[in-house]
């Protein structure tokens, strides 16, 4: 079973990491077994290369569930990347508070704060996909390659495109409902191992 401190899931693979064990920012919360693969940069540097505009002053969080698969170059774009849409100017005057004699405590007024990014469990995020601040991605969803996700994604829904739009549901409504009730990713490891054949063959009726 999982070594809670293990970084590399596979002994000869240094391009794939258990993400929970390489992030250090307490505002980046990752569940067990979620993995990130990067064949361009060191995957250990996920926090620096993939979690962008994530400044402590804004107090926003990236929350990722268990058993997620995150492909190379997927990025999470936080609130500080925004510019205020209510201002008459797009220029972020509060960021340059020294130049304009503004109060440093009002720096977050330079952008619109849309909240945390929350990713459910068993989510697959494709190559170079971008997920925007304030977005919630439901359990079991799939984010297509280079999709730009600006709105919430329902559970077990495949989305793609720019901006990302639903393509189809992965399963029937009854199966989705049953999966969201079972929440297999929260089972003890021994029970998951016992049910791997049923999980991999798509047979929720064979769960035991």
Give me the residue label for tokens 């067990």. Answer: 32
Cα of 137 vs its chain's centroid, Å: 8
106 catalytic per annotation: no
The enclosing H or E element of 8 equals: none
Burial class of residue 146 (count of CB atoms within 10 Å of its CB; 0-12, 13-18, 19+): middle
Cα of 162 vs its chain's centroid, Å: 18
Give me the residue label for tokens 């170079």. Answer: 128
Of the residues 54, 59, 83, 106, which is catalytic? 83
Residue 195 to residues 34, 58, 65, 79, 124, Cα–Cα distance (Å): 19, 42, 20, 40, 20
Q: 192 and 207 in contact (C-beta within 8 Å)?
A: no
Q: 46 and 38 in contact (C-beta within 8 Å)?
A: yes
Q: Which residues are catalytic?
A: 83
């Amino acid at each position: 079973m999982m070594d809670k401190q293990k970084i590399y899931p596979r002994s000869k693979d240094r391009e794939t990491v258990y993400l929970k064990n390489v992030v250090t920012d307490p505002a980046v919360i990752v569940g067990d077994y979620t993995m990130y693969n990067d064949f361009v940069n060191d995957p250990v540097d996920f926090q620096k290369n993939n979690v962008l505009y994530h400044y402590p002053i804004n107090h926003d969080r990236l929350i990722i569930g268990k058993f997620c698969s995150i492909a190379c170059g997927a990025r999470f774009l936080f609130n500080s990347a925004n510019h205020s849409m209510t201002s008459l100017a797009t220029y972020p005057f509060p960021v340059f508070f020294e130049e304009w004699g503004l109060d440093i405590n009002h720096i977050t007024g330079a952008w619109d704060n849309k909240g945390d990014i929350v990713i459910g469990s068993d989510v697959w995020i494709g190559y170079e996909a971008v997920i925007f601040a304030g977005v919630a991605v439901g359990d079991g969803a799939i984010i297509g390659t280079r999709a730009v996700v600006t709105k919430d994604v329902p559970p077990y829904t495949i989305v793609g495109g720019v901006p990302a739009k639903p393509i189809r549901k992965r399963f029937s409504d009854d199966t989705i409902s049953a999966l969201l009730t079972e929440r297999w990713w929260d089972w003890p490891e021994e029970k998951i191992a016992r049910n791997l054949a049923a999980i991999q063959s798509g047979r929720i009726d064979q769960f035991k």
